[in-house]
Amino acid sequence: MFVSRFPLLLLLLSSLFLSLPSEAQKKKNDGSEIQPHNLFPRVKLETSMGDIIIELDRNKAPITSNNFLLYASKYNYDGTIFHRIIKDFVVQGGGYDVDMKKKPVLGKIFNESGNGLKNVLYTVAMARERDPHSADRQFYFNMNKNTTLDPGRSGWGYTVFGTVTEGYEVVDAMSAVETDVDENTGWNDVPIEPIILKKATILPQAF
């Protein structure tokens, strides 16, 4: 008696496809897999001037927040410096080591500056070049109400993705340090005494 093998073949193929992970199930590596259900993850920044805790806003700036978490999870912020400080404006860092050598980047990210978050005192935002979508790893603390960094009719702004929740006095002290022109790079506003970001730690999720 002849028995068709076609149903058996269909059964085997369907089992194979069901066992393959979908695109959504594949493990991502963009930071979204880090505390995936936490919309407001916190990161502790241990600096040579004291500790700072920042809270990220995944609700308003998911791409930027995930990017920051990814660098922190890979210990890529450890041992970097705050290389640009302008009193009553910004404290910028995360991109260079103590020898002023540029740290590797994981890629450029989309500009989320239209998310409604403003560049006001103690917020955290991404530094970038002229290209609005050129932000990678450098970030800064706003030390004033910097409306010129927000998006407007002139174009894209600078993406705010978090805020300082502890260590305000540390950020204030960093903003007040003496700066000068760096003789090796020729850059202005470089702290005379290096301020080191010794370690960035993603804190456990608070329930």
For 137-168, write each residue's pLDDT tens digit: 999 999 999 999 999 987 999 999 999 999 99
pLDDT at position 26 is: 53
Bridge partners of residue 53, in order along the sequence: 44, 166
pLDDT at position 103 is: 97
Whether residue 150 is contained in a domain is answered as: yes
Q: Give the pLDDT band (50/70/90) at residue 10.
A: very low
CB of 69 within 8 A of CB of 106?
no
Whether residue 46 is contained in a domain is answered as: yes
| Residue 77 tokens, joined | 């912020």
What is d(CA 200, CA 52) in angstroms, rounded to the nearest whole number? 10
Whether residue 113 is contained in a domain is answered as: yes
Confidence check: pLDDT of 113 > 70: yes
Whether residue 207 is contained in a domain is answered as: no
Q: How many domains does the chain have?
A: 1
What is d(CA 98, CA 68) in angstroms, rounded to the nearest whole number? 20
pLDDT at position 16 is: 46
Which structural domain range is residue 109 located in?
33-202
What is the SS3 assignment for 76? coil
The domain that holds 194 is classified in CATH as 2.40.100.10
Whether residue 15 is contained in a domain is answered as: no
Q: Give the pLDDT band (50/70/90) at residue 5.
A: low
Whether residue 160 is contained in a domain is answered as: yes
Q: Give the pLDDT band (50/70/90) at residue 27.
A: low
Q: Please write down the HEC assignment for all residues of 82-133.
A: CCEEECCCEEEECCEECCCCECCCCCCCCCCHHHCCCCCCCEEEECCCCCCC
pTM of the complete model: 0.86
CB of 126 within 8 A of CB of 135?
yes
Whether residue 9 is contained in a domain is answered as: no
- CA torsion 100→143→159→66, rounded to 10°? 70
